[in-house]
Amino acid sequence: MSEQRIFENFDIKEKFISVIPYGNGHINDTFLVQTKGKIKVKQYILQRINHRVFKNVEGLMNNIEIVTAYVNINSPGNVYQKIIKTKDNKNYYFCSDTYTYWRVYTFVEDGVSFDDIVEPNLFYETGLAFGEFQKHIQDLNAEKIVETIANFHNTKIRFKNFETSVNLDLVDRVRLAKPEIDFLLSKKDYAPVIVDLLEEKKIPYRITHNDTKLNNVIFHKTTKKALSVIDLDTIMPGSILYDFGDAIRYGANKGKEDDRDLTKVGIDLNLFELFTKGFLENTAKMMNKTEIEHLAFSALLMTYELSMRFLEDYLNGDKYFKASDDEHNLRRARAQIALMKDIEKNLDKMNLIVKNIYNDCMKKDS
């Protein structure tokens, strides 16, 4: 069934004009739809949900509906995407012909997203956006939110899964990644740190975004001010450290996530400082001392986690992440490992940056 036919199942009054692929996400397939109303052209986001990754589509969509409704009610100045219901009032459409799941969102007309930091202040705005998101949902009852991917950031289990992929060697690739495997196995003491803090109740469970990449923030196309956070598929109970750490892993890397030239990969301390400043301006008062003490470490841990995930997928035959060739996930793992090593070298500096910004934020609020 064509994307147009799928789109026509949603409760939209305007006339369909066109549909084109949009964005470059790893998991879902996204399309930009143009429609024509009485006055002007209007755009929508149409997505095919990857139900092999998100097995509980109903739970996933209910999470998103709960969170977006809560944010839009409690912070009406924000420009968050809204779910467009189907003609029979559901928040997703199931196509029985192709066994696929689909959804439609409103499109932020004045918004633009970036895959790369074209100017440093964008990362400060990104920190503001994800920090503001956390602030807006801090009082939302986490019991209403279901876990859409079991143990998504449980790094203890991620490490065990990685070990299993090494031991099974399903597609005979262990021999091609021996140095990377040995390095990641040697860092196993990192894996339980945040999970243990949560289990010991030294840090609280919060509703978290869990995919805090730069391109999951919409900016105003003229002012470059952050408008809203998007891609809420991985909204789940977790730690605020996961959100902070993954944002740094992705956005403060001098190189690319899959860079072939590892000499370009490393932590940009200026970008780290900008994001931390924006994030803590909205979250410093709600975070406890232990969370603050582990902010810089969280960037190292999230880089470690993704290193294992990329390499595990490579060893399993590229079943999870979209890969452009047989070595794509191996390149990704190598780049993440290079970033890990640089973060380790700079961790003391990063901790000092966090401490100074946190103290400044608390002084302003006192």
Lowest mean pLDDT among 19-23, 73-77, 113-117, 146-150: 73-77
* pLDDT above 80 (res 129): yes
Separation CA 3–CA 250 (nearest Å): 31
Q: Are residues 211 and 255 in the same domain?
A: yes
Number of domains in the chain: 2
116 occurs within a structural domain: no
DSSP 109: T
Separation CA 287–CA 32 (nearest Å): 38
Which of 81, 109, 137 lies at the terminal end of a domain, its last residue? 109
Structure tokens belonging to residue 233:
């598929």
Separation CA 53–CA 49 (nearest Å): 9
Q: What is the pLDDT of residue 107?
A: 87
Residue 223 banded pLDDT, cuts 50, 70, 90: very high
Q: Are residues 207 and 62 in the same domain?
A: no
Q: Are residues 178 and 82 in the same domain?
A: no
User: Tell me, what CATH number does 9's domain have?
Assistant: 3.30.200.20
- Which range marks the domain in which residue 246 is found? 121-365
DSSP string, 74-102: H-TTS----EEPBTTS-SSEEETTTTEEE
Q: What is the pLDDT of residue 78?
A: 62
Residue 311 is which amino acid?
L
Q: Are residues 195 and 338 in the same domain?
A: yes
pTM above 0.85, yes or no: yes
251-281 pLDDT tens trace: 999 999 999 999 999 999 999 999 999 999 9
24-42 pLDDT tens trace: 776 788 999 999 987 788 9
* C-beta of residue 157 within 8 angstroms of C-beta of residue 147: no
User: Tell me, what CATH number does 231's domain have?
Assistant: 3.90.1200.10
Q: Are residues 156 and 93 in the same domain?
A: no
